[in-house]
Amino acid sequence: MGKKSRIAAAAAAAAAGRNGRLIENLKIVTASLAKESAESRKKMEQLQFHLALMAADRDICDGLERDVLALVLSSSLGEAAEGTTAEMTAATERERNLSTKIESAVAELNAAEMRLLSLVTENDAKNRKLEDLKERLQSMEEQARKRGKPWKKWLYSAAATATLLATTAVATFCCDGSFATSRICLREIFFFFFFFELLSELTKLNIRLKRLYFDFSSLL
């Protein structure tokens, strides 16, 4: 579980690093565009200033030349302003697209992280079930070892059955006085107890098999 948590933390840290680099690149591009726009405006202001000085110094220029010069200057400044506005609009659009891509990447990363955490949780649950099943199997093996060999159990059961049969036979003989009747009674009682012990063992085995089958089915 610790290793998986470290993997998830490393994936989240890597994603945060990528997002940080994207945002930093976006800031650099925006700052560069703003700097270029400021330099363009400064150059235009300097050009206007120099042109104004030249116009002031040229007293020989008549009104027509001044009008033509003003018209040319206005046209140039308008084109420059339009170009700068177009560049700023394009930069804003690029910034918006980049922000959208970053948000989409972050959303995909969060979804992938959630899927990873879900898989880790599911895997941990299956591991816990396997451990529980393993403990049950070990407990069953331990109980089987504690019970000892099957023949000992059958021997004890046979001894108890023989004692009961002998008691029943004596009681039957004393009441009826017939060895044939006592022998039939002994045989019937013996088969009854033998069948009862066999049925009991089969029932226990069937219950254990059903439990194991249910545990394995829940893991699939």
- Nearest 5°: the CA angle 33, 86, 69 is 105
Instruction: Domain ranges for the chain, please list them.
Output: 2-126, 148-219
Query: Could you give the CA distance from residue 49 to residue 51 in angstroms, rounded to a whole number?
Result: 5
**Range name among 28-32, 67-71, 142-146 with the lowest pLDDT average:** 142-146
Query: Could you give the CA distance from residue 36 to residue 194 in angstroms, rounded to a whole number?
Result: 103
Mean pLDDT of all residues in 124-128: 76
What percent of the chain is modeled with pLDDT above 90?
A: 0
Query: Could you give the CA distance from residue 55 to residue 70 in angstroms, rounded to a whole number?
Result: 10
Q: Is 94 exposed, middle or buried (0-12, 13-18, 19+ CB in 10 A)?
A: middle
Mean pLDDT of all residues in 166-189: 52
Mean pLDDT of all residues in 172-192: 53
Mean pLDDT of all residues in 127-153: 63
Model confidence at 153: pLDDT above 70: no
> What is the model's pTM?
0.31
Range picked from 20-24, 26-30, 58-62, 213-217 for highest mean pLDDT = 26-30
CB 26 within 8 A of CB 101: no
39-48 — which CB contacts under 8 Å span 24+ positions? Answer: 40/80, 40/84, 41/84, 44/77, 44/80, 44/81, 48/73, 48/77
Q: Which residue has the higher pLDDT, 174 or 38?
A: 38
